[in-house]
Structure 1
């Protein structure tokens, strides 16, 4: 169990432990050595539930990503595919089974664990590919993943696109199932509020699921650990999510990306004076785990980046003072106390060095960048309704610079309706036909959004 998950107002480690038991129970159905082949999208989130070291204890001999290509010969009895119910993944699984059957000399049993639940369409596709009879299919009902003491995620890929552009509301059902899981573990939430049509749909689905469950067992504790639940449809507010995040954690995510509580950085700023192989360290990319299990990160994560330097300086002075205490220790008892605190002090020193390096990377791309300042100024002017006309020249500059299309999404969605066609024409000329079509779809999507949103459930 990860201790940082139990440090918040809600004990998130309960979810981790529940999901871990579910996964291990499924693995125990396959007696003997086994190999798992993972949907790459799930590898990180499920790794937060059960790490590879734990899986090895349950006879998982090896793990492979589910991607196009061939696998080496696998000398185990059980091969387990763990994947979302997606058609393209079923094609990969089918190809693997056909390939492995042709290469394996010993009998092999194939298993498929759908996450979070099985799909009839996917099973029909497996039948069409002729591999369904070779598979034993189970469900791994992992609706929600524990990330931190204050964060859980459904980790749904392209869910907004599927719901609003493709008309597939599966993600709403998954959200309702995740809320039901939370209710079963923490009790029925007494006060629920919502905003937006999708929020109302999720609530209605949750109510239906609860009705179906009546008489089938306990629905959760009568006293809830959660007092209020707020459901928000993303469609009621695009602006806030498209603006640049300016906290320490937010800028790490903006610039380097945080995936499953892990971020990856260039290695050259992490080279220390006592590094045995500084050249190797500088070349390799540094993976840093970011969660509330680290005291310094907990303090920094929600700070505005302009205050991060002051926090790091203060921490550096504290650590230096603590380490200098060794010169004042004279008695054996004082030395013993210092030695007992030394591992924690050294860990704090290493943590400080890590976040100082990260802050330097961020500073180079933000406070030292005129382009970044222009972008932030443009966003602030729009959000405060000050000289909104400045947004248009800013977009024109981005087009002239051949900036990535994603950089213009915030401003493109906020300019006046009368100027959208003009901007789309200019953008289309600069980014050629395929992306011009994307912008046309985006503009059409904005017009389809509901003007009024449902409030209150």
Structure 2
């Protein structure tokens, strides 16, 4: 629309479209249908893997599940294969590769083809470093687990606020202000790092104790002389303020989660899911146990 509007008004500009992680033929078809294919320059940003945390990398392709498993579209398979090739080139060959299902098989075969093409081109390969295995488990291997309610803090934050690319938007109900705040959830957030894998029932107790400890650190200022106060301000105060801010946000997030889950009869939902997954007898309250 912008390109055609500029044409009609006689305005001349340069246009560039960057497709990520790759450009598909369908994209060019759309540009041709709109009559702007010759007016724009196309490029690709092939990032493939994003580091979300110290020990987590992700392709961040939320469209993959719908496209492959629901619509039978295989266009993301090359991206998966190239991501494996990237890991292989950075850290050396995988010791072994394991996979389950057709999606894993297709990704592995295309990855091996890319590796062979690279060897034939004389690019060479790095020596083995860790001899770590590669494990591919497509979503259709276990639909049930992915659909069950999450009970750890990080999972409930994702269910409630949606974590995207390692970050989350906390709204006014969490920040206790009229503004929303985007927070990165990773190991650098000391509060989050300690509670991310904790069962939600124990998170409030931890945050309460953390709040008391933080207050005790603030109270140490009262008995300090000038030199000690100077060191406290220059070395500790900034970190304490940052930790206090994060603590307030996570307490607000917990309160928001509690309100929403209470309305949804969360405990009853967990009980029903437990019955379905474990095929428990009628004593649990389910009319008919379901074998997964």
- TM-score when scaled to structure 2? 0.88
Q: CA deviation at 1:217?
A: 4.7
Q: Which residue of 2 is the match for residue 311 of structure 1? A: 206
Q: For 1:385 and 1:210, how far apart are their aligned partners in 2?
A: 45
Q: CA deviation at 1:328?
A: 2.2
Q: Please state if 1:387 is matched with 2:281.
A: yes
* 2:180 aligns with one of 274, 285, 302: 285
Q: CA deviation at 1:189?
A: 1.7
* 2:80 aligns with one of 168, 175, 185: 175
Q: For 1:416 and 1:104, how far apart are their aligned partners in 2?
A: 67
* 1:117 aligns with one of 10, 13, 22: 22
Worse overlay, 163-172 or 293-302: 163-172
The answer to whether the Cα contact below 8 Å between 1:270 and 1:357 also exists between their aligned partners in 2 is yes
Q: CA deviation at 1:108?
A: 1.4
CA shift in 2, pair 1:392/1:181, >3 Å: farther
CA shift in 2, pair 1:155/1:100, >3 Å: farther
The answer to whether the Cα contact below 8 Å between 2:173 and 2:252 also exists between their aligned partners in 1 is no
Q: Which residue of 1 is the match for residue 70 of structure 2? A: 165
For 1:43-442, what aligned pairs fall within 5 Å after superposition?
A: 95-103=1-9, 105=11, 107-218=12-123, 220-225=125-130, 227-271=132-176, 281=177, 283-330=178-225, 332-339=226-233, 340-366=235-261, 368-369=262-263, 371-387=265-281
Q: CA deviation at 1:96?
A: 2.7
Q: For 1:122 and 1:229, how far apart are their aligned partners in 2?
A: 32
CA shift in 2, pair 1:128/1:190, >3 Å: same
Q: For 1:202 and 1:103, how far apart are their aligned partners in 2?
A: 48
Q: Which residue of 2 is the match for residue 76 of structure 1? A: none
Unaligned runs of 5+ residues in structure 1 are: 1-94, 272-280, 394-413, 418-457
Q: CA deviation at 1:268?
A: 4.2
For residue 52 of structure 2, give the secondary structure of its aligned residue in structure 1: strand
Q: CA deviation at 1:377?
A: 0.8
CA shift in 2, pair 1:205/1:268, >3 Å: closer
Q: CA deviation at 1:324?
A: 1.3
Q: For 1:392 and 1:172, how far apart are their aligned partners in 2?
A: 42
The answer to whether the Cα contact below 8 Å between 2:276 and 2:291 also exists between their aligned partners in 1 is no
For residue 258 of structure 1, give the secondary structure of its aligned residue in structure 2: coil
**Residues 325-348 of structure 1: per-residue CA shift (max 9 Å, x gap):** 112223x43223222211111211
The answer to whether the Cα contact below 8 Å between 2:275 and 2:290 also exists between their aligned partners in 1 is no
For 1:3-22, what aligned pairs fall within 5 Å after superposition?
A: none
Q: For 1:224 and 1:96, how far apart are their aligned partners in 2?
A: 50
Unaligned runs of 5+ residues in structure 2 are: none
Q: Which residue of 2 is the match for residue 47 of structure 1? A: none
Q: Which residue of 2 is the match for residue 451 of structure 1? A: none
For residue 152 of structure 1, give the secondary structure of its aligned residue in structure 2: strand
Q: For 1:186 and 1:135, how far apart are their aligned partners in 2?
A: 38
CA shift in 2, pair 1:391/1:236, >3 Å: farther
CA shift in 2, pair 1:130/1:291, >3 Å: same
Q: How many residues align?
A: 290
Q: CA deviation at 1:149?
A: 1.9
CA shift in 2, pair 1:293/1:104, >3 Å: farther
Q: CA deviation at 1:126?
A: 2.7
Q: For 2:36 and 2:23, how far apart are their aligned partners in 1?
A: 16
For residue 111 of structure 1, give the secondary structure of its aligned residue in structure 2: strand
